[in-house]
Amino acid sequence: MDILIHTLSGTTTAAFISTMSSFSKKGKFALILLGAFAGAFPDIDAISLWSKFDQTIGSWLHLSHTGSQIYFGKFWYSHHGYFHSILAAAIFSLGLVSLYKLLFKKEIWSTYFHSRECMFILAISFFSYLSHLIGDLPTPGAVWGGIRLFFPFEIYVGGYGTTWWWNNYDVFLTLLTTTSALSLFILLEDKFIKSDLIKAAAFMYIMGISLSTYYVTNHSISFAYVGNTSRYAYYERISYADQSGRLGKSVFRLMYKVDKMLPFYF
């Protein structure tokens, strides 16, 4: 999946969980931003494809492989490696709540870690991060054969190829709508009974995730391939055709135009 969908999967997850918290409205929207960061973070391992990687980070760390070799390899720090694991999600989440404690909280560590505030920050960080990993499972296996979900074990899972790498505009619009609706619930939470707010948020979240799941698991062909493929352009055309059929030509053309204006894959 592309970085925008990963970010939105994080905001959708964070927005839902935050409706159950006792944070202020401002605090809940801060949690949504946290979800966006956590949802996008696992792709930090793609930094090895940065055009200046070899002359900077690679040189500083005296790496014996080029950035491209690292990205498409199976080192622990390669793409779909450690940063795409449950262990990384846990360490990332613990690191964030610890940093938050150091910067903003003065109580002792044991009291802080047992607080509901800490639990919600931890949950949003972890599950928003995890949403990224789940979103990568349906994409093609390619040179990795999936993601190293259970690091440090050298087992790669996923790579099902039920959807293409990007131009999943249907999923993007679904998650954007779901995040927007959940954010609106938060803005209007004073008009809800708390239990009704949680029920409405749960319904919206389940509908958004269910529809997204349907979209990524129902395409006109299988995109599954291992290693490299000579059918890349063909897969791309079919993915666009599926999007056009689902969204209608007008919406598809708009999304395609926006896509081509962005400096990254979407």
pLDDT digits (tens, 9 = 90+) for 105-146: 888 988 999 999 999 999 999 999 999 999 999 999 999 999
**Cβ(175)–Cβ(208) under 8 Å?**
yes
**Cβ(54)–Cβ(67) under 8 Å?**
yes
Condensed to tens digits (0 to 9), the pLDDT of residues 168-182 reads 999 999 999 999 999
CA angle 53, 93, 209 (to 5 degrees): 95
Band of the pLDDT at 266, cuts 50, 70, 90?
Answer: confident
Residue 265 is predicted with a pLDDT of 84
Neighbours of 159 (CB within 10 A): 20
HSE-CB at 56 with a 13 A cutoff on CA atoms is 7
Residue 51 is predicted with a pLDDT of 86
What's the predicted TM-score (pTM) here? 0.95
How many angstroms separate the CA atoms of 22 and 16, rounded? Answer: 13
**Cβ(55)–Cβ(83) under 8 Å?**
no
Q: Is 147 helix (H, G, I), strand (E, B) or coil?
A: strand
Looking at the chain, the whole-number percentage of residues with pLDDT higher than 70 is: 100
